[in-house]
Amino acid sequence: MPVASESILRILFAVFQYLLPFLAVVTVILIFFYLLSENRIRCEKAAGLPGFGTIGELVVLSGSRNLDTNTWFPVPREGVLGAVRSCDLVIPCSGVHAKHFDFSWEDGTGLLIYPRTGCEVLVNGYTVNCRTAAADYPMTHGSVLQVGSATLRLHLFAALDNTGTRIDGPVRNQTAPPPIVPPPGSFPPDLQQFPPLPGSFSPDTSVCFPQPLQQQSVSFFSETPELSQQDTQSVSGESFTSDSEEHSRPRRSDRWKEDLGE
């Protein structure tokens, strides 16, 4: 390959001497703005999706002075429930440890509960602790969770039914554990005011496992007696509660909004 003459090289280098470092800096700045642009697009996409990253909500059936009845929490796919504010779900009730249990959603099974050492919960009347296999007692739509003095019910997004992964039953083992009648007083008396959901746990029955979800009618949330059809929100990216129906909708508990005093 021919070598360029000295004079041409000097002229070229005089240009490149300043151009190359300038281009290097410009390239780094452009990559930085590209990174910012990617982040912004992701945030815009997430803002347009209601319930982004969540699988449903936990509705308080009975709480405490710090936790009103009918308060509801969006449930992420994975997280920690406890009494401290750093938890994903904050339940400020007596008997709830600082970090009471971990939970994670498993497609085809349900919401699995992993209590921490020394912690116990009741899922549909069954005691679940750190030695219990989480897959044996998954939470599905309508399942009732008792943690400390609080009782909560799980509402799953109905669209989870349509993913093709059916939740057939909570027990993976072929031999289901013998039905355990919950001890008297394990459920607060006012639980009786909430009609059981189809297939969900009823204190009067010894069969404690909810029916498959395909038997329930679907809306954004599967229908519950206390949430009528007109209360279900439209999937439009709006906030969970509309102003006109706020008095009939459960109050959403969002610890960030509580912190801001909204």
For other proteins, the binding residues (CB under 8 A) are: 1-4, 8-10, 12-13, 16-21, 23-28, 30-35, 37-39, 41-42, 45-46, 49-53, 77-78, 80, 86, 99, 102, 104, 114, 157-160, 162-163, 218-220, 234-235
**CA angle in degrees (0–180, nearest 5) for 198-60-252:** 110
Given the complex with other proteins, which of 203 and 249 has the nearer CB atom? 249
> How many helices and strands (H and E) does the chain possess?
2, 10
Given the complex with other proteins, which of 77 and 252 has the nearer CB atom? 77
How far is residue 230 CA from its own chain's centroid? Answer: 23
CB of 80 to other proteins, least distance (A): 7
**What is the C-alpha to C-alpha distance for residues 26 and 137, in angstroms, rounded to an integer?**
57
Structure tokens that stand for 107 in this block = 């497609």
CB of 58 to other proteins, least distance (A): 18
Strands (E) in the chain, as ranges, are 54-62, 72-76, 78-82, 89-90, 101-106, 110-115, 120-123, 126-129, 144-147, 150-156
Given the complex with other proteins, which of 40 and 257 has the nearer CB atom? 40
CB of 52 to other proteins, least distance (A): 5
Given the complex with other proteins, which of 5 and 244 has the nearer CB atom? 5
CB of 106 to other proteins, least distance (A): 11
Could you count the other beta carbons within 10 Å of the beta carbon of residue 150? 25
In 3D space, the residue among 255, 46, 250 whose CA is nearest the CA of residue 155 turns out to be 250
Given the complex with other proteins, which of 158 and 213 has the nearer CB atom? 158
Phi–psi pair at 18, nearest 5 degrees = -100, -30
Given the complex with other proteins, which of 172 and 180 has the nearer CB atom? 172
Given the complex with other proteins, which of 83 and 208 has the nearer CB atom? 83
**What is the C-alpha to C-alpha distance for residues 185 and 72, in angstroms, rounded to an integer?**
24
CB of 204 to other proteins, least distance (A): 33
CB of 46 to other proteins, least distance (A): 7
Exposed / middle / buried, residue 182 (Cβ in 10 Å: 0-12, 13-18, 19+): middle
The answer to whether 160 and 133 have CB atoms below 8 angstroms apart is no
CB of 152 to other proteins, least distance (A): 22
